[in-house]
Amino acid sequence: MMLKFLKVLMPAVLVAGCGLKPSIDDEKLSNLDFSLVDFFVGETLAHGQFQDVLGNVSRRFNVTINGSWDGNNLVLVEDFVYSDGAEEQRIWTLTKNGDNEWQGYADGVVGGAEGEIDGDMFYWAYTIDLPLPSGEMRVSFKDYMWMLSETRVLNKAYMSKWGIPVGEVTIMFEKVK
């Protein structure tokens, strides 16, 4: 039974880890310039889900985000409500480092996050001790966000543990005010 499972799992892990991911250098599909401050200051709603490497959806969530900008830091207060009724709050503090580079911190993030904007895309990478219903798991995220319009951003995040893909998160952000 275990051998059969490994025969199915290993090719899936190899395919998922073969670099079939976007890149900040990909051709831009719009002439929009993604401004984190312009998009996230105020209220934003998001809807998303986690999927494992085999594509099984394991958890859905909604997030209300309240963002503020003090001229140096973008603070994002994220209030998560999961489909199983669990709630979580994460507060990010992002600081602009140069024209297109960002650095961020939140509780549970190991060593900070690094991000870069290029046109309509924001790339964001970090490692976090992710709270789960059964405890906590340290995973790394590579997030790709695309500004689809002035009021919508699509986020695709690739999760890995020890460099091995464990799943993906897809989120749609919608600017409310």
Q: Which domains does the chain have, with CATH numbers?
A: 34-175 (2.40.128.20)
Q: Is the pLDDT of residue 7 over 70?
A: no
- The dihedral built from the CA positions of residue 69, 171, 150 and 115, taken in this order, carries a sign that is positive
CA 58, CA 48: separation in Å to the nearest integer? 11
Name the pLDDT band for 4 (thresholds 50, 70, 90): low
The count of C-alpha atoms lying within 13 angstroms of the C-alpha of 53, restricted to the half-sphere facing its C-beta, is: 18
**Whole-structure pTM value:** 0.83
The per-residue b/e assignment along 33-45, b for 16 or more CB within 10 angstroms, e otherwise, is ebebeebbbeebe
Q: Is the pLDDT of residue 12 over 60?
A: no
Q: Are strands 73-82 and 152-161 parallel, antiparallel or unpaired?
A: unpaired
SS3 call for 75: strand
Contacting residues for 97 by C-beta, under 8 A, at least 6 apart: 103
Q: What is the mean pLDDT of the chain?
A: 88
- Can you give the length of the chain in residues? 177
Closest to 130 in 3D by CA, of 47, 75, 58, 68: 58
Average pLDDT over residues 23-42: 83
Q: Looking at residue 16, what is its pLDDT?
A: 46
Name the pLDDT band for 25 (thresholds 50, 70, 90): low
Of 20-29, 95-104, 113-122, 156-165, which range is least confident?
Answer: 20-29
Q: Looking at residue 136, what is its pLDDT?
A: 87
